[in-house]
Amino acid sequence: MSKERASKIKILLLDVDGVMTDGTIFLFPAPAGSQSTVAEATRGKADDGGFGIASEGYLEAKGFNAHDGTGFSLAKLGGLKTGIITKRISETVRLRARDLRVDHVYQGTHDKLTAFNEILKKEGLSADQAAFVGDDIIDLPPMRAAGLAIAVANAREEVKDEAHVVTDRMGGHGAVRDAVEYILKAQGNFDRVLESYIGQRSPAKPAK
C-alpha cells in the first residue's frame, strides 16, 4: 500500500531539525564585527510562530549529512521537486537549501499545513502527489494530508504511528536519502537515476 502511494509522488517536502539534521542546534559566539540577521535567513512565508536566534552575539549552526545531499541530487534527476518547511529560522538552513537547489524553502513556519497547501497550489499538484518527512508532533498535520507520510527512525512514537513509512536511518544520518530512494524504487526509476548520477560524475572516456 505504501509503495502504491509512493508511486504517485511528484514532490518531497521535509522538516529540517531532526530530519535533515539529528536535531542538535549549535550556538557559537559571533566573530567581532559580524551580525546575525534573521530576517535575511527566510525565503517564502514566515508567520509569528517561527523561532530563531535573533542575536548579534551568537550564530546558530546545524550539521547536515553528505548522503542526504546526494539524495537531493537523486530526487532532482528522478523528476521530484523538493521543499523545506521548518518552524525555526536559520541562515545555515538557507545556505544549505541554496546549495542543494531546494525548490521551496519555508522558514519560521509554525502552521506547516498551510505552507504545505501553498506549495502544492504553486506546483499545481494534489495532496496525494506529495510526501512529507517529519519527526515530531508539529509535523503531523502535513503528514496526515500528504499522500505519503514518512517518519524518520528517531521520530516520536506518535509520529511513527501515523506514518506510512519509517526510514531505516535517523535524521541527520541519511534518513532523507532513505526517503528519496524509497520513492524512486517504488516508481521504478532508481536504477536509471543512479546510473545517470554516476554518469554525470564519471563520464565515459572517448574511444581512441
Q: Which tens digits make up the pLDDT trace of 12-48?
A: 999 999 999 999 888 778 666 554 444 344 333 444 4
Residue 154: pLDDT over 90: yes
pLDDT category at 61 given cuts 50, 70, 90 is: confident
Q: Which tens digits make up the pLDDT trace of 63-82?
A: 999 999 999 999 999 999 99
pLDDT category at 203 given cuts 50, 70, 90 is: low
In 3D space, the residue among 116, 66, 62, 111 whose CA is nearest the CA of residue 91 turns out to be 62
CATH class of 2-201: alpha beta
Whether pTM > 0.75 for this model: the answer is yes
Tell me the three cell numbers of residue 168.
531505516
Q: Cα–chain-centroid distance for residue 102?
A: 8
Residue 114, Cβ neighbours under 10 Å: how many?
Answer: 16
Sequential DSSP letters for 60-79:
EE----HHHHHHHHHHHHTT
Residue spans of the domains in the chain: they are: 2-201
31 CB contacts (<8 Å, ≥6 apart)?
Answer: none
